């Protein structure tokens, strides 16, 4: 286990798939922290099955953040605070879009605090152009051949078209 360092943060999520909203939060976190570890939840609890494997989701994020020099992407299978501790992070950074996000994230922050009071939760408000954006919404749009070109990286849009049998 690494020592906790107040300049390392984790940005956790299922990222199924990663959206431009996720990438905005990751980019903004990268300007605040020396190192940001993007944690890809291997098998999310709140979702039955992911469309993309953890390896595919990691590759999408690595490709989309290659221009940032302080991003590392890993799958994780543990409690979030354990993942943070294992990476020497004292900060969890997540985005907030709406009141419903706040209610859920407030509960999670309190549970994480109970598990480890040394790991702080930081929340970044979504920019207006991403305040409606979710992976679920993107997948639904892609299923019906909607234009998602400005919502996800081009590689992700192509993979969604391929996976969902659309062109």
Give catalytic residues, as residue numbers: 22, 48, 97, 135
d(CA 58, CA 63): 9
Per-residue burial over 116-145, b if 16 or more Cβ lie within 10 Å, else e, is beebbbeebebeeebeebbbeebbeebeee
Helices (H) and strands (E) in the chain, counts: 6, 5
DSSP assignment of 71-138, as one string?
Answer: EEEEEE-S-HHHHHHHTTEEEEEEEE-SHHHHHHHHHHHHHHHHH-TTSEEEEEEPPGGGTT--HHHH
Of the candidates 164, 110, 119, the one whose C-alpha atom is nearest the C-alpha of residue 142 is 164
């Amino acid at each position: 286990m690494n020592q906790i360092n107040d300049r390392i943060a984790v940005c956790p999520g299922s990222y199924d798939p990663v959206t431009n909203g996720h990438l905005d939060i990751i980019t903004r976190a990268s300007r605040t922290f020396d190192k940001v570890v993007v944690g890809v939840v291997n098998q999310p609890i709140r979702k039955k099955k992911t469309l993309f494997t953890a390896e595919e989701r990691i590759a999408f994020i690595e490709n989309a953040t290659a221009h940032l020099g302080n991003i590392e992407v890993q799958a994780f299978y543990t409690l979030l605070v354990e993942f943070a501790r294992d990476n020497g992070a004292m900060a969890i950074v997540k985005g907030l879009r709406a009141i419903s996000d706040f209610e859920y994230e407030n509960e999670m922050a309190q549970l994480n605090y109970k598990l480890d009071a040394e790991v702080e939760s930081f929340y970044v408000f979504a920019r207006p152009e991403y305040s409606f954006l979710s992976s679920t919404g993107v997948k639904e749009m892609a299923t019906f051949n909607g234009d998602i070109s400005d919502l996800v990286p081009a590689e992700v849009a192509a993979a969604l078209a391929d996976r969902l049998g659309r062109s």
